[in-house]
Structure 1
Amino acid sequence: MNLEDLIRETKPLYISVNQEEMTKNVFKAIRNQTQCTRKYKSSWLKRCGVVASITVLAMGGTFASGFVSPAIASMLSQIPLINTAYNLLENPALSPKGVRQAVTQGFDIKVNQVSSNNGITLTINNAYCAPNEFAFDMVASFSSNVTESPIIRTSDMQISINGTRKLYNLDGGTFEPTADGKYAGIVHFDAHNMQPYSLLPNQFNLEVSITKIGNITGQWNFIVPLSSKDVKNATKVFEPMITKTFNSITFTVQKVMVAPSEIEIDCELKQPLTIIDASTPHLKQLAAYDQAGNRLSGGIVTISKAQRNGNSNIIKITAKYTPPTEPLSNLTVKADGGLNGLSIPFAMQYSQ
């Protein structure tokens, strides 16, 4: 059965459903239709990811109505599920690329904590902690007397550092069905997503509290000790202070931090008050390349407000990138700006 036939078969079955209810029914149908236990592989995802995504979207109404045709069931049996026997922080379907690379290098933290209430058991097995970010996995399982299997969401969690500094703007948290009838996902926090920005403590207790999952209320609590010591020891910091000037605009690379899960570049833009929009950075993008000329994924994450200094405005810029899989021996930074329609290229290099 090809994709066109699948869409043609499901089209008459569309019904209007609540998105969360549809997702829950999709996951339930998938779990009922397959016992696949193979681990995700990137090549497998490339082959079936598009088909699986379209299949789930096309069949939302079908699952909500409780009907699954034999042809659709056959398609579902080919969709791999998350296998919780593996470290979920290494799973390309769940975990950010930088975190995955760091964990495969041995920078993960074993947690192995369990919290159970009202027939739902939550487990945190693994975590990762760096000065700018942390991540942890979570698996939800259900006892036989639970009438529903609600999907846990990041918005269900109250997360704080040492019980005082509450965190928000967490990403990840997309919990997927597992091969053994559970849900599994990753919760990730990037300090740049929270203002005012500040580094995470070197050591702290990450407190996770959940009082409601779906329509089920209860108490699920974790206190996870985290430390970025090993990651910091493996992090290299450079202060190249490389400067380029074009049409009175000065761009400076002040600091570069190369960590197992990220490359962070701190820059400064100095613009004379006489130019148009002097308080707005005349910078379109900031790109980084490794020694092989491969462009690294990422870009600008924060831009400060302009601060006047004499006859100029000073603007601080921070960019973040995912490290290459090969050891980084040379980094090239290119900043492209625009002034009155002109393209302003800056290129600077430094080696470790």
Structure 2
Amino acid sequence: MNELQVDKELREKAKKAIVDVPMHFSAGIDQVLGSLPVRPVLKKSYVRKNKWLISVACLLMGMFLLIGTGLVSPTMAHMLKNLPYVSTIFSFVGDSGIKVADQQGLTQPLDQSVNNQGITVSLKEAYYDRLNLSIGFVVTFPPSENGFQHIEKLSYEWQGRTITRTFTTEEAKKSYLLHWRHVEGNTYYGTFQPFFFEELPEEWTLKLVLQKIGGVDGTWQFDIPLTRKPADAVTKVTEPGVSGQSRGFILSVKQIIRTPSTTRIVFGVQGESESIEPAEEETLNQIDLLSDAIRVFDSKGVPLSSITDEKGNRRGGITGSTLFTKDFHPISVDSHSMTIAVDKQLRFEIPLD
């Protein structure tokens, strides 16, 4: 087979190869192959150059085919997995709504690291909007028999008060506040996602202190500047102003807040003849049951899943005598409407801009 036939074969194989590789890699192969000469008359020196290019192209193709079929060592796979163009901490761990926001490039980089008791905690990224906050971190834990199990104690400041949280092993496994994943050796990726029921301020500095990690007491303290401006630019607020009757109540849809990570719906509720008194415990129980009966769908009929709180309950609740909220994972960006159904009697079709 002569050089021209080899060139042609390589081009055909490059077009037909089905491998899952980054686009700029495959573009690089095409560029190398496209640069190979196709002239019928070749000088000796040019033939040598052409053969060298063919060898390089074959080597590249072999490497990418190897990656595409998964035939790489664990060390190589780990190295590739952690290259900047492949992923971020949020893409590995954390809430699905945060992952959606991360895919839109709405996270902000952090560069803080504290070493204490031989344990290094490095903050890498944050996501922040009106309804959600998540911090992506890396823990490097010294070699031990059990390794890093979980963060057992931490505290943070909110509205002038310090909130301290402790987690047993079982609580840590079930908590949505903390997620982590072993990456390699003594390295772990994790996210911390405190829940604030109120809307979060436009700019804020989170004071976070980790106090016990993997059975080791210490102090890993951070001041984290946060801004929600990038998320605010794509956050949408709708005030439908629709209402209907169900279960002896008048239910109205006051507001829909759609951030990149969350869909929050604010409902108004009152009795058919008079306002609800907060002291009426049975009435409040009935409102809870009404809230649980609410289902939400996008314009394609796909149900929105509820965001759960730290106890596994649907996130939301009564914010006043006549208001309650429900939080859902983000609605699809191409959804042109939302359907809110209560039992079989009440149904709202709400257009979205």
Q: Scaled by the length of structure 2, what TM-score is found?
A: 0.63
Q: Which residue is 1:187 aligned to?
A: 192
Query: Which one has a larger percent helix, Structure 1 or Structure 2?
Result: 2
Q: Which residue is 1:98 aligned to?
A: 97
Distance 2:164 2:127 in 1: 16
User: What's the offset of the Cα at 1:264?
Assistant: 0.7
**Pair 317,348 (structure 1): closer, same or farther in 2 beyond 3 Å:** farther
Question: Contact 2:255/2:267 (CA < 8 Å) preserved in 1?
Answer: yes
User: What's the offset of the Cα at 1:149?
Assistant: 6.5
Pairing of 1:84-233 with structure 2 (within 5 A): 86-91=87-92, 94-142=93-141, 147=144, 150-151=147-148, 153-161=150-158, 164-166=161-163, 171-192=176-197, 198-233=198-233
Matched, 1:303 2:341: no
**Pair 101,228 (structure 1): closer, same or farther in 2 beyond 3 Å:** same
Question: Contact 1:286/1:319 (CA < 8 Å) preserved in 2?
Answer: no
Pairing of 1:1-352 with structure 2 (within 5 A): 35=74, 38=77, 86-91=87-92, 94-142=93-141, 147=144, 150-151=147-148, 153-161=150-158, 164-166=161-163, 171-192=176-197, 198-246=198-246, 249-272=249-272, 277-279=282-284, 280-281=286-287, 283=290, 284-298=292-306, 301-304=315-318, 307=321, 314=322, 316-336=323-343, 344-352=345-353
**Pair 155,130 (structure 1): closer, same or farther in 2 beyond 3 Å:** farther
Distance 1:258 1:347 in 2: 17
SS in 2 for 1:101: helix
User: What's the offset of the Cα at 1:131?
Assistant: 1.5
**Which amino acid is 2:188 matched to?**
Y
**Which amino acid is 1:348 matched to?**
E
User: What's the offset of the Cα at 1:304?
Assistant: 2.2
Unaligned ranges ≥5, structure 2: 1-72, 167-174, 308-313
Distance 2:185 2:221 in 1: 24
Distance 2:209 2:320 in 1: 39
SS in 1 for 2:90: helix
**Which amino acid is 1:176 matched to?**
R
Question: Contact 2:116/2:220 (CA < 8 Å) preserved in 1?
Answer: yes
**Pair 248,324 (structure 1): closer, same or farther in 2 beyond 3 Å:** closer
Distance 2:283 2:206 in 1: 42
Distance 1:126 1:247 in 2: 45
**Pair 324,278 (structure 1): closer, same or farther in 2 beyond 3 Å:** closer
Unaligned ranges ≥5, structure 1: 1-33, 40-81, 193-197, 308-313, 337-342
**Pair 88,272 (structure 1): closer, same or farther in 2 beyond 3 Å:** same
SS in 1 for 2:179: coil
Paired residues in the alignment total 256
Question: Contact 1:35/1:180 (CA < 8 Å) preserved in 2?
Answer: no
Question: Contact 2:132/2:262 (CA < 8 Å) preserved in 1?
Answer: no
**Pair 324,167 (structure 1): closer, same or farther in 2 beyond 3 Å:** farther
User: What's the offset of the Cα at 1:286?
Assistant: 1.5
User: What's the offset of the Cα at 1:272?
Assistant: 3.6
Residues 256-283 of structure 1: CA distance to partner in whole angstroms, max 9, x if unpaired? Answer: 1111111111012222479995442251
Identity of aligned residues (%): 19
Question: Contact 2:210/2:220 (CA < 8 Å) preserved in 1?
Answer: yes
User: What's the offset of the Cα at 1:37?
Assistant: 6.1
Q: What CA RMSD, in Å, does the superposition of the two structures yield over aligned residues? A: 3.3
Residues 40-98 of structure 1: CA distance to partner in whole angstroms, max 9, x if unpaired? Answer: xxxxxxxxxxxxxxxxxxxxxxxxxxxxxxxxxxxxxxxxxx8586311122xx21111
Question: Contact 1:257/1:264 (CA < 8 Å) preserved in 2?
Answer: yes
**Pair 120,344 (structure 1): closer, same or farther in 2 beyond 3 Å:** same
SS in 2 for 1:114: strand
Question: Contact 1:131/1:199 (CA < 8 Å) preserved in 2?
Answer: yes
**Pair 99,132 (structure 1): closer, same or farther in 2 beyond 3 Å:** same
Q: Whose radius of gyration is greater, 1 or 2?
A: 2
User: What's the offset of the Cα at 1:244?
Assistant: 1.4
Distance 1:242 1:162 in 2: 34
**Which amino acid is 1:303 matched to?**
G
Q: Scaled by the length of structure 1, what TM-score is found?
A: 0.63
**Pair 148,201 (structure 1): closer, same or farther in 2 beyond 3 Å:** farther
Distance 1:136 1:186 in 2: 5
